[in-house]
A and B are shown apart, each in its own frame.
Chain A
Amino acid sequence: MCPGSTSDDAARRASREIWDAPASDVDLFAPSLDERDDSEGFGTAFDPRSLWFACFFGGPVAATILFALNARRLGQPKQVVPLALGFLAVTFATLTVGTYVAMTGAGADATADASLGRNVRMGTRIVGLALGGVGYFLQRRRFELYLGEGREPAKALLPCIGVIVLSALVSLVWVSVAAVFFVVA
């Protein structure tokens, strides 16, 4: 290449542009990724949006099971325990408070009882939805990386139905235990 040729000039201009870049462009050559951006450890993960939907029917117990399971499948084993513990704390608080409200609010009026029961169940579902929303936002970025690797999400319908049934049983057991506790206390 002759000195002063067009391509040499272009390269020198580009080089000056890059190294004399304004402060806002300096971050272009600064590291942007951390271990959460590594695509290793993926299993066959569920779409967090599908799990969010299941949380409405399954409540906070379903949210805990589904998002803890999905954290492992998204290659985040360190997140499984903190997420499960956090969600479990909210779950059992919700079920306990719901049981207490239902028991203390119960009276002779059957219509008021039925309405109270409906409201308690709706409240539990709303908590489930809220936990599902938290799980979705925690796993959304990781799931986008999963899709970016060309992977397909796992079929969620049957697992979600199974978890919803399991959640109903777990909730029933916990509510019964809580009810017995409140009666004894």
Chain B
Amino acid sequence: MEDIDREADAEDLGGARRERSLHKVVHLLEIGRFEAAEHEVRALLAEAPEDPSLLALLARIEVDQGHSEDGLATALEALARDAQDVEALHVAADASAALGRNTEAERHFLEALALDPVDAGLLFGYANLMFKTGKLDKAERLAQRVLALSPESAGAHQLASLVAARRREGREARSRGQQGLARAPDESVSHLVQGHACLASGRPFAARRHLRAAVSADPANQTVREAFEEADRACRVVYLPAYYLSLVFDRVPGSNFILWGVFLVMMFVMERAGVPENVAMPIVLAYVGLCIYSWVAEPIVKLWVKILPPR
């Protein structure tokens, strides 16, 4: 009897210690100390190497540190022990997507959603995968599902904004971006998405304002910095007409080549129609000037930015 009591006490202590360790891991992850969190999880795994939830947690830490191959291997190990571990499926999906194995990622997402269809995180991850692979309708519908479950999800609004921007629905993109920004005003990604929406819809100065705020929030992020530089270039006088031209040509099949194509057709038609030279020449010269400007505007503004860097 005393032995049974002693065993039960030991189990209780072990369980309490594990709980404390897991809380410590969560805290370490919140403050970004991934290596320390990994060390804690490995210590727990040393005591319980077959625990799929610990393996899934370790896999998540590895993926968040950018070690996607290792994270995928660990997640698959967790799934070998428990094929219905939703967190392991989620991590396997994220790791596969990071490695470019999108079909495999989709398979893991769908398996996880079959087990837990109301997990907003899973739906959001799947929506991101659909956006990345160009399935915009599905991405939008999934984002709506996330919002139905979690209306305050800034990420879902941001994703909906990106979808609208890619479809060239400027107003919708800005509206969604604004909703994302209202829910997460201090996050760099909110300003980045809204800046992107403004830039895609003909508002380069508003875009530059938002992207400047994004850089202030996250100065080390290279993606944000590049987006700010792109918006700044669009605001420069020498490039502004080319920026608006590009917005028009992006909506036309063949893009910039339409400009040159129209030029060739115009030459052909004027020659056949016998247009007088004193009329044709100024038109041709002006059009050639426009074509050349569309070609050289970007190198010129890049040089201009080197002389007068953005503030």
Is the beta-carbon distance between B138 and A32 smaller than 8 angstroms? Answer: yes
Specify which of B103, B113, B254, B257 is in contact with A33 (CB 8 Å cutoff). Answer: B103
Is the beta-carbon distance between A52 and B134 smaller than 8 angstroms? Answer: no
User: Which of A7-15, A78-86, A103-111, A159-167 forms contacts with chain B?
Assistant: A7-15
Please report the C-alpha to C-alpha distance between residue A15 and residue B110 in the assembled complex, in whole angstroms.
15
Interface centre among A39, A42, A49, A145, by most chain B C-beta atoms within 10 angstroms, is A39
- With a cutoff of 8 Å between Cβ atoms, the chain A residues found around residue B113 in the complex are 29
Is the beta-carbon distance between A141 and B148 smaller than 8 angstroms? Answer: no
Please report the C-alpha to C-alpha distance between residue A86 and residue B281 in the assembled complex, in whole angstroms.
42
Is the beta-carbon distance between A32 and B148 smaller than 8 angstroms? Answer: no
Is the beta-carbon distance between A25 and B141 smaller than 8 angstroms? Answer: yes
Is the beta-carbon distance between A35 and B134 smaller than 8 angstroms? Answer: no
What interface size band does chain A fall in?
Answer: 20 to 34
A19-B100 contact, Cβ under 8 Å, with A14-B149, A144-B134: no
Please report the C-alpha to C-alpha distance between residue A150 and residue B223 in the assembled complex, in whole angstroms.
9
A149-B102 contact, Cβ under 8 Å, with A33-B133, A37-B133: no
A145-B117 contact, Cβ under 8 Å, with A14-B148, A33-B102, A39-B102: no
Residue of B nearest to A12 (CB): B118
> A136-151: which residues lie under 8 A (CB-CB) from chain B?
141, 144-145, 148-150
Number of interchain pairs (Cβ within 8 Å): 73
Query: Does residue B33 face the partner (Cβ distance < 8 Å to A)?
Result: no
Interface string of A54-95 (1 = CB under 8 A from B): 000000000000000000000000000000000000000000
Please report the C-alpha to C-alpha distance between residue A28 and residue B140 in the assembled complex, in whole angstroms.
11
For the complex formed, measure the closest distance between the CB of A109 and the CB atoms of chain B, giving whole angstroms: 20
Is the beta-carbon distance between B130 and A32 smaller than 8 angstroms? Answer: yes
Interface string of B229-263 (1 = CB under 8 A from A): 00000000000000000000000001111001000
Query: Does residue A172 face the partner (Cβ distance < 8 Å to B)?
Result: no
What interface size band does chain B fall in?
Answer: 20 to 34
Please report the C-alpha to C-alpha distance between residue A28 and residue B139 in the assembled complex, in whole angstroms.
9
- With a cutoff of 8 Å between Cβ atoms, the chain A residues found around residue B103 in the complex are 31, 33-35, 37-38
- With a cutoff of 8 Å between Cβ atoms, the chain B residues found around residue A11 in the complex are 118, 149
Residue of B nearest to A10 (CB): B149
Is the beta-carbon distance between A28 and B107 smaller than 8 angstroms? Answer: no
- With a cutoff of 8 Å between Cβ atoms, the chain B residues found around residue A39 in the complex are 100, 102
Please report the C-alpha to C-alpha distance between residue A141 and residue B102 in the assembled complex, in whole angstroms.
14
Q: Is the contact region of chain A dominated by helix, strand, or loop, or is it mixed?
A: helix
Is the beta-carbon distance between A31 and B110 smaller than 8 angstroms? Answer: yes
Specify which of A19, A33, A144 is in contact with B106 (CB 8 Å cutoff). Answer: A33
Query: Does residue B17 face the partner (Cβ distance < 8 Å to A)?
Result: no
- With a cutoff of 8 Å between Cβ atoms, the chain A residues found around residue B223 in the complex are 150
Please report the C-alpha to C-alpha distance between residue A28 and residue B117 in the assembled complex, in whole angstroms.
12
A148-B134 contact, Cβ under 8 Å, with A31-B110, A35-B103, A53-B257: yes
Query: Does residue A18 face the partner (Cβ distance < 8 Å to B)?
Result: yes
Is the beta-carbon distance between B257 and A145 smaller than 8 angstroms? Answer: no
Please report the C-alpha to C-alpha distance between residue A32 and residue B131 in the assembled complex, in whole angstroms.
12
Is the beta-carbon distance between A31 and B107 smaller than 8 angstroms? Answer: yes
Please report the C-alpha to C-alpha distance between residue A52 and residue B255 in the assembled complex, in whole angstroms.
11
A residues in contact (CB < 8 Å) with B: 10-11, 14-15, 17-19, 25, 28-29, 31-35, 37-40, 42, 49, 52-53, 141, 144-145, 148-150
- 4 cross-chain pairs, A with B, having the tightest CB-CB distances, nearest first: A39-B100, A37-B133, A33-B103, A40-B100
Given contacts A33-B135, A38-B103, 8 further A-B contacts (CB under 8 A): A14-B118, A29-B117, A32-B135, A37-B103, A39-B102, A49-B256, A53-B260, A145-B134
